[in-house]
Chains A and B, each alone.
Chain A
């Protein structure tokens, strides 16, 4: 069964589940008013249809009830290539059933692929939308390593960590499940279209809202819930201390899944949420191998890491170590005693080897040496 498969096969959702999706789209506005309060949105989404209407519909209650009773699946706009699956189907991702009123999924990329990807171990990579270079680097490296090991990476199609994780998973050989805020056919904002197209080609993209629904603020938090619920392990790469940035970890905790976090600098505001999680007992991970260990509950392969850094000339190693220690702009390195020409040459060579990358404001960022491709 592929995207181009028979129509009946791609419509694996029952009428009552489609009605639920329709109702969520109808209540999108009121839901938006409730997404600020900590955890309230998740509770609302776990309510049954009637309770949800009573809680949110307000003056529209009677009208909405009437339309709800008369609902026909044909009322939903349908787009070619977008499959539907609900919790009553056998192929529905098992892990996602744990969510109260498990959402109907609208998926691009084919149901078969969705089933295939979620049948494998799934790791969610979540975190802040305003990631630092460090966070983006780590999220990408982690996802690359996991995807290369045959693990499915789930993430939100959002700025920052979500985008970095999905990009990394695609680079690592596919196996990416991305969750969209709005309807599948509403690609917003436009700058994410290339990544979305790439995901549709190699992985799957899912949304719980019917086609044509515009994304709203609450959709992001709801999407995080699907990402975390799909996965066996949720890795928080970089998160501040706001409820929104920790939403993924909270859902995973509530479902009793493993939560892991990547530490940042202790002084970094962007990582204080991750640090709080670690203090609460989340697992500390520093690379794909740690996550695999958590996932498979097995020992790390007894293979010494091949560290490119050890093979570097001393002059390059000094520069790389300085950058790692936070002396990361040419100006500071010169102040540290390096000669300008030699320094710039070393920086370029390290950049060409993939050990350094350019960050914001002229900064250099060290890339993970274990994952760097061999020196050409």
Chain B
């Protein structure tokens, strides 16, 4: 007898529909799985056998062939267990075969018949809804995640027997106690008003957060670069629902979501020993890079000059396009990677350039430091937040701005941007391309004159001009100004990102 069940397998961040066909015939007892299954799927035979027997069903002592279609797509992971077991039960007459239609089964089986949650539940739920395949039966622990997809019939099942009951038209298990959707930033972020005596850098950070600009924090050791960067999360607005779903989907596939919607913006701070594959992804077939995990959030690179040069070079595509295309011998995938880059660096190898005469770096060391940072990466950094060494005197002074107030400003500015850019397909100033810039950013006469003289002095390249205009637009948004005034442009020029390295003029 033949039975057919439906499930999905994860491929990068995408899903592939898989039909599990099980045929049970007379012959020598055997259980074979065909259809490019990886080791985890092949091991499903043992799990499925034990789970069926331990749930009180009968495992047919006959010749069993399971085929995973389409046959040319590699299948990974243990999530096909549930579909295999149910198709097997149907094929051996322990379950009406026609009941399998209209259901998607997704889950790993424990030997005692329990259904275990699997990575990528949200992606599978979305695919089920999109393909119109009907009800999704999955582990109870992940039901909340699947419920995020509107209009999808989700039936949680704790055990194989409950799944069979649901298939036969019975009641689904009750939802487990619900973890509340954590939309909105968590309280865990430290507050911006801990940062004293660095008003200038704080302001630059607020501008960066408002426009989603990539920002470089530069300053001598101990001035609070990392401290400032760690507070970015407290001033970014909460994720919108669409963004939250995207983030949850990525986290779910990466296997780091506990259930429910992810509320806070991703914050990824990899150590500088990271490899290119670790940052971008593609080390293994299903490994996801840090830039993808930082999608819709912040990627923080502390001690930027310590990162290997190829690693930094690899950031160019995601910074430019907001996505990474990973092509390997047998698979190619496109991942979304639209993040805000926050980087911190010392102004020179010893860190004390510009602090009296403390810097003892040689010309050659400075040149090496510059070479590490300069070029294509620095070209994509819009803003420089310069931290001051001598700010220590002001540690007792009042904080310029607290996180709550800063977040209000940032949220307002982002709303203004979104309203203005609605027709252009972007939401943040940082993502405006040249054409959008021409359309949306107009300068007064004085501003035009400033830009012209900056170009004539060789201070701004064509790309540099675009960066300055984007930042100027954000500053105007923060000031609730409809036009970009000369003052906004002047601030943007003073904050431009490529002036942060020691010894640049002497070179």
Contacts and interface: CB of A to CB of B under 8 A. Distances in A.
Specify the main secondary structure of chain A where it touches its partner: helix
A287 interface: no
Interface string A121-134: 00000000111110
A361 B450 contact: no
B198 A362 contact: no
Nearest to A358: B499
A306 interface: no
Interface string B313-354: 000000000000000000000000000000000011000111
Interface residues on B, range: 35 or more
Contacts of A346: 490
B438 interface: no
A60 interface: no
A305 interface: no
B388 A348 contact: no
Interface string B354-386: 110101001110010000000000000000101
Contact of A163 (B384, B388, B502, B506): B506
Contact of B220 (A133, A344, A361): A361
B388 A345 contact: no
Interface stretch (A6-14, A99-107, A333-341): A333-341
A342 B487 contact: yes
A23 interface: no
A352 interface: yes
Contacts of B357: 132, 268-270
Interface in A317-347: 329-332, 334-335, 340-342, 344-347
A173 interface: no
Given A348-B493, A361-B354, A340 B203 contact: yes
Given A341-B487, A345-B490, A361 B506 contact: no
Nearest to B499: A358
Contacts of A334: 199-200
B394 interface: yes
B434 interface: no
B491 interface: yes
Interface string A258-298: 00000000001110000000000000000000000000000
A345 B486 contact: yes
Nearest to B504: A358
A59 interface: no
A357 interface: yes
A340 B199 contact: yes
B367 A191 contact: yes
Interface residues of A, number: 41
A349 B490 contact: yes
B503 A360 contact: yes
A245 to B, nearest CB: 14
A146 B259 CA distance: 74
Contacts of B459: 351-352
Task: Output the residue of A136, A351, A358 with the most chain B CB within 10 A.
Answer: A358
A70 interface: no
A330 B453 contact: no
Nearest to B495: A344
Nearest to A194: B507
Interface string A356-376: 011111110000000000001
A251 interface: no
A307 B391 CA distance: 33
B281 interface: no
A91 interface: no
Contacts of B453: 352, 376
Contact of B506 (A136, A268, A362): A136
B466 interface: no
A348 B490 contact: yes
B456 interface: yes
A58 interface: no
A340 B454 CA distance: 21
B284 interface: no
B218 interface: yes
Contacts of B388: 329-332, 362
B494 A357 contact: no
Interface in A110-164: 129-133, 136, 159-160, 163-164
B505 A133 contact: yes
A173 B382 CA distance: 36
8 contacts: A136-B505, A330-B200, A335-B197, A344-B491, A348-B489, A348-B493, A358-B504, A363-B354
Given A268-B357, A345-B489, 9 more contacts: A269-B357, A329-B388, A344-B495, A347-B490, A358-B504, A358-B505, A360-B502, A361-B220, A361-B389
Interface of A: 129-133, 136, 159-160, 163-164, 189, 191, 268-270, 329-332, 334-335, 340-342, 344-349, 351-352, 354, 357-363, 376
Interface of B: 197-201, 203, 218-220, 347-348, 352-355, 357, 359, 362-364, 367, 384, 386-391, 394, 449-450, 452-454, 456-457, 459, 475, 479, 486-491, 493-495, 499-500, 502-507
